[in-house]
Amino acid sequence: MDIKENLKQLTNPYLPSWEYIPDGEPYVFGDRVYVYGSHDQFRGDVYCMLDYVCWSAPVSDLGDWRYEGVIYRKDQDPHNTDLQGNLYAPDVTIGPDGRYYLYYVLSNWGVVSVAVCDEPAGAYEFLGYVHYSDGTRLGERDGDEPQFDPGVLTEGDRTYLYTGFCGVGDKSRHGAMATVLGPDMLTIIEDPVFIMPGEAYSHGTPCEGHAFFEAPSIRKVGDTYVFIYSSQLFHELAYATSTSPTKDFVYQGVLVSNGDLNIDSYKPADKPMCYCANNHGSIVQIGEDWYIFYHRHTNGTNYSRQGCLEKLTRRADGLFEQAEITSCGGRETPLRGEGTYPTYLACHMFSPLDVTYVPWSGWMDDRFQKITQDGRDGDELYGYIANMRPETSAGFKYFDCHDVDRITICTKGYAKGTMEVRNAWDGPVLGEVPVDFANVWCDSTAEIAVPDGVQALYFTFRGSGYLQFASFTLHRKGQ
């Protein structure tokens, strides 16, 4: 199988490697899944530099995503005439009139803006700002806290709006807020109340250590309201539940971490398996299954983020277990164990340094590998792993392997040594592929038998110099 055929499967990231859509809010409308998010730029120097676009896929095939185009431009907001405000994480809800309402906050203004459209992925038009009955905008009344990252849920004529941002140690902001809007989707009929504390006010509460930071999102599962948010640890999406949309939320745990922290099923719980930073996303039911959408970081910065998804396991009590990050959306949907795969599908990248966070200052230094691409933003070129130094590893999960007896790697760079292959991050070496100096992409093959069954694959570079690692190919006997 060539790369194009293999990428028709469900992979992470689920969109093309040249697309950067973080903060994903997934919804099923009709027979398609729509994802709304902010829009980063490859090699961007701040968050959310581009206009909103939308992607959708049939509910029957999460590997078949379709670009719906630009749905809203940042020059459409009347406040943003100088274009200094970027379009931060949005959310969408269906109003009582059956129309689709887009809620967002500009990066330089703590007020909630609203746009509307007759279709889920059509051309949204600016509608107005969320405001009190006297016309004062939410976020501008005395005592209001700045609005940030709106999440919305509509039930009948009431829309529940969730907002907030609370930095660690910041006592000027109290936590996540819930505000109730009337049928016009703009006017407040119940003032904001706090439903989840920020770190400074979380001590002694059930969410201590996982207090609210940002990224509020809301879903209803049966009769239970599920509040999803990014915790004070940045890399994880936590959740709380209640039988009321505006009170009594109880912390329940973590849904996903973009470094696989907290999970101890295959490694120590505190070992990061990928370089982490902020996280934002939500859950959605597709068919009988529940999924968590989240994002990862690329290019060695915080500003080129890509959407990923994982299948969730729901317990008998209705709560969700933390999902393991994968290259394929979950162990239940492994990739074919044959053919060529691009290395931007790596779900794990780590070194002996055990670094948890991508440096907030910007570029990751030259000790660490990163997923990047050639060309400019929008160029349809496959991503790859750059700057793979000695002792660094890249992991891919999972593949349904049968009779794999050879592996080819495609590399270039000033490097010489071997690429060790394992089926566990700390497992025995299955074999080694030679690596030599090359200034253009070149292939190298070795006889390596991969055990049959659903397997992870880890590649560790041993030698000197640094590698660019583009792809690997799994060969079956007789092929």
Q: Which residue of the set 77, 91, 149, 214 is catalytic? A: 214
CA–CA distance, 22 with 277 (Å, rounded to integer): 12
Contact of 157 with 166, CB cutoff 8 Å = no
Estimate the share of the chain in helix, then strand, then coil, as percent rounded to the nearest 5: 5, 45, 50
CA–CA distance, 190 with 179 (Å, rounded to integer): 6
Distance of CA 233 to the CA centre of its chain: 15
DSSP SS3 for 429:
coil
DSSP SS3 for 102:
strand
CA–CA distance, 455 with 75 (Å, rounded to integer): 48
Q: Which residue of the set 23, 40, 145, 199 is catalytic? A: 23
- Burial of 131-150, coded b for 16+ CB within 10 Å and e otherwise, reads bbeeeebbbeeeebbbbbbb
Query: Known catalytic residue: 214?
Result: yes
Of 432, 431, 384, 375, nearest in space to 412 by CA: 384
CA–CA distance, 85 with 333 (Å, rounded to integer): 40
Contact of 464 with 390, CB cutoff 8 Å = yes
Q: Are strands 212-221 and 224-231 parallel, antiparallel or unpaired?
A: antiparallel
Any residues with CB less than 8 A from the CB of 85 and at least 6 apart, and which?
A: 74, 77, 79, 106, 107, 108, 109
Q: Tell me the torsion sign for CA atoms 86, 88, 91, 95.
A: negative
Q: Are strands 335-336 and 393-401 parallel, antiparallel or unpaired?
A: parallel
Query: Known catalytic residue: 23?
Result: yes
Please give the single-letter amino acid code of residue 117.
Answer: C
List active site positions: 23, 214
